Structure 1
Amino acid sequence: MATTTLTTDTFTQGVTGDDIVLVDFWADWCGPCKMFAPVFEEASEQHPDITFAKVDTDAEPALGQALNITSIPTLMAFREGILVFAQPGALPARELNSLIDQVRQLPMDEVRAKLAEAEKEDGASPDPQ
């Protein structure tokens, strides 16, 4: 399965539309991005049930900034619309496949419960300003 391109306008829908979505933040001038691209593309062929998407940080600087992308390539993994992994750097194929397996095995009921608890704690904490 080929990768898809996400933009500021399509990002939210793109990462919430499927069970698992992997997003590669890249730029054309980035050497490590060019090294990671075929690894990402090959993984997309091996895992047709997963959405593989790319964000060109030069074309979408506001999106990169909004997501605090400070180094590229950066890989983000979403499961059921929840960000479950974010890491800069080009992963070797073996590590990318291991990550995919880990994301598949996540107990999402527990993830949602922990997220709800963290949001509850953040909402209950006094504003330091």
Structure 2
Amino acid sequence: MATKALTQQDFDEVVTSNDIVLVDFWADWCGPCKQFAPTFEASSDKHPDVVHAKVDTEAEQALAAHWDIRSIPTIMAIREGIVVYSQPGALQPAMLEDLLTQVKNLDMDDVRKQISEARAEQG
């Protein structure tokens, strides 16, 4: 499965209509982003059940600002509309595979419970 380019116009629709979305925030001038691209593309072929999306931070500056992207590449994993991982830095293939395994194995009822409890504590 090929990666999908996301824009501010379709970001929310893609995230809410798919169970797992893995987003690579990148830019054309970014060397580490270019080095990570084949790993991300290979993962999209290996995991057709996961939407692999890319956000060009130069073309989509407002979207990058909304998600507080300060360093690229930044990899974000979203499951059932909830950001469950967001970290800057390219991942090695084994690390990306491990991340996807962990995201797939999350107990989302527990994740939602933890979010609810954290919000209640904040008042």
State TM-score, norm by structure 2.
0.97
Map of 1:44 onto structure 2: 44
Q: Give the % identical residues.
A: 58
- SS of 2:53's partner is strand
RMSD: 0.7
- SS of 1:117's partner is helix
**CA deviation vs aligned residue, 1:14-54 (integer Å, no higher than 9, x gap):** 11211111000000000000000000000000000110000
- SS of 1:9's partner is coil
What one-letter code is carried by the residue in structure 1 that aligns with 2:68? N
Alpha-carbon separation, structure 2, partners of 1:76 and 1:16: 15
| Structure 1 spans left out of the alignment, 5+ residues | 125-129
Map of 2:86 onto structure 1: 86
Alpha-carbon separation, structure 1, partners of 2:119 and 2:8: 25
- SS of 1:15's partner is helix
Count of residues in correspondence between the two structures = 123
Q: What does 1:48-127 align with in structure 2 at a 5 Å threshold? A: 48-122=48-122, 124=123
Q: What does 1:23-42 align with in structure 2 at a 5 Å threshold? A: 23-42=23-42
The runs of 4+ residues in structure 1 deviating greater than 3 Å are: none
Alpha-carbon separation, structure 2, partners of 1:17 and 1:117: 26
State TM-score, norm by structure 1.
0.93
What one-letter code is carried by the residue in structure 1 that aligns with 2:91? L
